[in-house]
Chains A and B, each alone.
Chain A
Amino acid sequence: MRVLVPVKRVVDYNVKIRIKSDQSGVDIAGLKMSMNPFDEIATEEAIRLKERGIASEIVAVSMGDAKCQETLRTALAMGADRAILVETTVELQPLAVAKLLQAIVERERPSLVLMGKQAIDDDSNQTAQMLAGLLGWPQATFASKIEIGDGTATVAREVDEGIETIRVRLPAVISVDLRLNEPRYASLPNIMKAKKKPLDTLTPEALGVDPTPRLQYVRVEEPPKRKAGVKLASVQELVAKLKTEAGVI
């Protein structure tokens, strides 16, 4: 079966972002960019399915400007077979991404879409659920364990109360959580090989999707800052402060 893995290019999780002085957005110029960590986990899971003989082909998809090719090359170096870039300079929001993915799913006919549960830049946690809705497919979000059976997937989900297990019919969209697996690093030979793997470029127009943003970011500002407090010398001092100064115990 074919597995589709959407991957997003985001500011590396170790990098501290800056807010533009005119509050128009986040200044990401010149910052180190990486594949969204949750998407790395999704890519890894797809590769493991292929290694176990369950998946036959892995197609990685990214969207945005031409630099997203780097993210796709990372997926190819990890083990994806081919890649598709939907190239656009329009700011892509989750609903637009879901519609573009829907169009790609209709062309590629995968049995499974494996994707990160959330991107660490806009923290929306929407795209997988939206894609499943648009396709009329089942969804299994926040997966921490995936077993593919005969036309179904049994998925353990990380929920607030603990772990929930559901079974979904295939084709389905599965969004992955942190503890599903530990993604591999691409080896140097595989990075070289990835350069020769096919990478097709499409546009929103070619896919018949209007990607215009629905939400307007009116202002982006620094969050209220906490001031560093005081370092205390003893447990007794701490208990006294919590009682009298803070009044919380």
Chain B
Amino acid sequence: MIPLSYYLLLSGILFACGVLGFLIKRNIITIFMSIELMLNGVNLSFVAFAAQWHALSGQVFVFFVMVVAAAEAAVGLAIIIAVYRTRETLNVDRVNLLKL
């Protein structure tokens, strides 16, 4: 028996790490991984609340979040490949022009 707040704190820490990585990292792939970390933190709080209220729909929503994350990863990594093909760099500081 552990309090629900422990799960929420862990979820908050993961989300905060994701936000921090999104802000301080300069590699576009690592920034993308930080977004995945944020999604994972949100999923944990979904499941924790579902466990507290004995509601299965929380797990269904986690399922949908995972599906959207998979679609986002596929499209995002394709965009990263396209960016690398035109700019020859993965550093977001050098990707500062909309059109070459």
Chain A bound to chain B = no
**B→A interface (CB under 8 Å):** none
Chain A positions near chain B (C-beta within 8 angstroms): none
